[in-house]
Amino acid sequence: MTTSATLLPAVVRPVPEDRCWLSSDHCAGPVLDLLDSLGWAVVNTPEANVHATSPDGHVYVGWLPEDPAAC
């Protein structure tokens, strides 16, 4: 079985120079902002946990910091 390239999702790859924000301050904010801008459902809890689900519901990302002061 083959899949047409038109049915596959586009692959987004940032240029290496643009990746420094991924690990610069150990904060999930930039990644969660990116997911939110891409249409993911992002939910914050009072415990400072953040849950994100992809638009199609097939992928889940959780940010569960041990420190409630985490960004």
**pLDDT-derived band at 13, boundaries 50, 70, 90:** low
* Between residues 60 and 10, the one the model is more confident about: 60
Could you write out the DSSP letters of every residue in 11-59? P----GGGGGGGTSSS-SHHHHHHHHHTT-EEEE-TTS-EEEE-TTS--
Distance (Å, whole) CA 15 – CA 24: 16
Each residue of 25-44: pLDDT tens digit?
Answer: 567 788 888 899 999 999 99
Q: What percentage of the chain carries pLDDT values higher than 70?
A: 56
For residues 20 and 62, the model is more confident at: 62
Q: What pTM was computed for the model?
A: 0.59
